[in-house]
Structure formats: C-alpha cells, structure tokens
Amino acid sequence: MEIKDTALPDVKLVLPKVFGDSRGFFKEVWNQRELARHGLHVEFVQDNFSRSCRNTLRGLHFQEAKPQGKLVWVSRGEVCDVAVDVRRESPTFGKWIAERLSCENHRMLWIPPGFAHGFRVLSNEADFQYKCTEFYDPDDERCIRWDDETLAIDWGDVDSAELIISEKDASAPSLKAMFEV
C-alpha cells in the first residue's frame, strides 16, 4: 500500500497494491498495521455503502461534535470526491481538494476528522464505500452548500441544472454562514 500526501497535509491519497490476472484482480482495501506504519492510527467503527446515478451530488457533510474520519473508495464507477477542511483552528481552514476515484484507478482517500466531505458521480452509476472512525449521528450532522462561492469547488464539467441533489444539500448554508467567518 502506498500513501501519498495531497495539497491538504492531513488528507492522504491511498494507493493499494492491485494484483490482477485473467480472472480479475485482488486488492487489500484496509490494513490497520500498514496505515499505522504511515502514521495513520485509526480505528473504524462503521462501514457505509451508497449507490448513486450519474450527476448525483452528495455533500458537503460533516459531524461537528463527533467528527468522523473516513477512508473512501469507489468499487464501481467513478466520482469526483471532495474534502474541505472545516477545522476553525487549522491553517488550511476552508481549503479543499478533489480527487477522481474509480474502480479502474483503485485510488482511495483518507479524510481525517474535521473535514466536510462530498462527491459527484461521473459514471452512469457508482458504488461508493467508506469506513468511518465515529458512528453516524443525525443530530450532529452539518452540511455546507456544494456551490459555496467562497469555496469555489471545481466539481468538474457539469451543468448545475443536471445535478441530482437532496433537499437538505440544496438548502445547506454557506461556509461563512455555518462558521460566521
């Protein structure tokens, strides 16, 4: 397993070793010892799975009092995956990174606690999986607008009229309104 830095020092790109032959492939998605060797000492308590159709945009979600760290990957299809630093004391507060994750490139992203997370589906369908370091708490969940002008996230070439967004995500506040910055 190879772990690379991203433009946000705490967010890591995880590249598992993929062993392929005429039957298909095998890869190890998570290995506690290997992650710890790279300084990522995490304990996962919940696994999640979602299936979404093209142009579905989910996010930007985070938990405030009980922040979740997430190891995310795509087992079918392709997404534009985004992490936004929402740790007020962080020198990278309000900064974001985007990575294309797909079943073909096998890339995974480690998103530490204190980051908002979202993704847009680029393929006809995508199966998205993630391991979480904290249990989901609907009363603690917060959301920031996906199209926040101060963040100016590049979600890829997309017509916003074609996006499929939940009511909750469509009515989310801006980063400025959420954090009164």
Phi, psi of 138 (to 5 degrees): -60, -30
Query: Of these residues, 38, 41, 117, 130, which one is catalytic?
Result: 130
How many other β-carbons are positioned within 10 Å of the β-carbon of residue 109?
A: 23
Active site residue 130: yes
Distance CA 39, CA 24 (A): 31
In angstroms and rounded to an integer, the radius of gyration of the C-alpha atoms of the chain is 16
Query: Of these residues, 61, 106, 117, 136, which one is catalytic?
Result: 61
27 within 8 A of 19, measured Cβ to Cβ: yes
Instruction: Retrieve residue 48's tokens.
Output: 């999640």
Which residue, among 168, 143, 150, 148, has the nearest Cα to 160 in the 3D structure? 148
Active site residue 136: no
User: Can you tell me whether residue 50 is helix, strand or coil?
Assistant: strand
Residues noted as catalytic? 61, 130
